Amino acid sequence: MMDLVSLQNKLDNISFAVLFVTMLVYWVGAAFPKIPFFPLLGTAGMAIANLCMACLLGARWMEGGYFPISNLYESLFFLAWGVTTIHLLAEWLSRSRLVGAATAPVAMGITAFATLTLPGEMQTSAPLVPALKSNWLMMHVSVMMLSYSALLVGSLLAIAFLIVTFGQPVELKGSSIGTGSFRNRELRTPTSGQDNANQGTIDAISMNPAQATAVLTPPSTAPAPVLSLNRLTIAESLDNLSYRMIGLGFPLLTVGIIAGAVWANEAWGAPWSWDPKETWALITWLVFAAYLHARITRGWQGRRPAYLATGGFFVVWICYLGVNLLGKGLHSYGWFF
C-alpha cells in the first residue's frame, strides 16, 4: 500500500521548490524580455506545481476520508493551488509574462509558510471536529478559497499595474469597463454653446503646424513624461486582466458567503452572528463591490480602481489569515489556537 503521508511530504517540498525556481524564471524573464523560452518555462513550472498540489490534496483526501480543507496546512495548499490555477487562466488570456512575475512569489510564499513554518502537528491529518462534519464543508470553504485566489490574483495584477505606471501619467483607452468606457473623440461642428470654447482650437487647426503648436502648447509648459507604447500596452493588459479576475472572484465570494450563512443557520441556529470571520468577509465583499461599482457605473479605469484593489489585497489576507491569529470566534477551530 502506498505511504500517503510520505507522498504528501514529498509533494509539498516539490511544490515549494518548483514554485521558487518558477518565481526566479519569471523575474529573469521580466528583466530580460528578449529571452524567448522563459515564458514557456514559467508556465510549465506553474503547471507542474499546480499538479503537485492537486495530487497532495488528493492524497490527503484519501488518507483522511474528508475534503482536505479543515485546517491551516490544508487550506494554505488549497489556496496556493487556487492561485496557480487562476494564474494559468490569466496567463492564457493575456499571454503576458508579468502575470507570473506578480503571482509566483505569492504562491511560493504560501507554500513556504505551510511547508517550512507550520509545526509538524499542524501538518498532520486529524479527524474532523463535530462542527465540520457536514456536506457544507466542501461547498462553503472551497468556494470561499477559490474566491480568495481569484481576488488575490486580480489585486496582484492591479499592484503590477501601479508599478509599471509609477511616476508617469497614463490614460487608458480600453473597453474593460461599463458605461464609462472609452469613446473615440472626433472633431465635430460646434454648437452655438460651444462656439467660443472651441474657436481657438478651430483657428489653430487652420494654421500651419508650427503656428498651431504655438497656440495649443504654451511656450512655458514642458511636455509631461508619457509611457512608451510597449509599457502602455502592458498597463492596459494588466488593468483589463485585473478587472476580469476580480470580476470572477466576486461572484464566487458572494456564493461562498451565502453558503456559509445557510450552513451557519443549520449548525448554530442563525445565518449571521457577526463573528470576526463573518464581519471581515462582509468587509471584503464591500471593498470589491465598490471596485466593481466604480468601474462599471462610474467609468473608473487605471490608478483609482488599482488603489482600491490594492487595499482589497490586504483585506483578503486579514479575512483569511489575520482574523484567525486572534483565535476568537466561531471559526477559530483548526487554525492557530
Q: What is the pLDDT of residues 267-314, one digit of tens each?
A: 777 778 888 888 899 999 999 999 999 998 877 777 888 999 999 999
Residue 187 belongs to a domain = no
Q: Is 326 found in the same domain as 247?
A: yes
Does the pLDDT of residue 175 top 70, yes or no?
no
Domain end call among 98, 127, 156? 127
Q: Residues 327-336: what's their mean pLDDT?
A: 53
Contacts 24+ apart (CB under 8 A), 253-256: 253/144, 253/147, 253/148, 253/151, 253/281, 253/284, 253/285, 253/288, 254/285, 255/143, 255/147, 256/140, 256/141, 256/143, 256/144, 256/146, 256/147, 256/281
Q: Assess contact for 132 and 268: CB atoms under 8 A.
A: no
Q: Is 162 found in the same domain as 284?
A: yes
Domain end call among 127, 156, 188? 127
Among candidate residues 337, 98, 33, 132, the one with its CA nearest the CA of residue 236 = 98
pLDDT digits (tens, 9 = 90+) for 187-218: 333 444 444 444 444 444 444 544 444 444 44
Residue 83: the pLDDT is 96
Q: Is 62 found in the same domain as 163?
A: no
pTM of the model: 0.79
Domain count of the chain?
2
Among candidate residues 114, 111, 89, the one with its CA nearest the CA of residue 100 = 89
Residue 337 belongs to a domain = yes
Domain end call among 70, 96, 127? 127
Q: Is 75 found in the same domain as 142?
A: no
Q: Is 97 found in the same domain as 150?
A: no
Looking up residue 75, the CATH number of its domain turns out to be 1.20.120
- For 76, the domain range is 1-127
Residue 188: the pLDDT is 38
Q: Assess contact for 110 and 78: CB atoms under 8 A.
A: no
Residue 216: the pLDDT is 44
Residue 66 belongs to a domain = yes
Greatest mean pLDDT range, 22-36, 70-84, 122-136, 180-194? 70-84
Q: Is 248 found in the same domain as 160?
A: yes
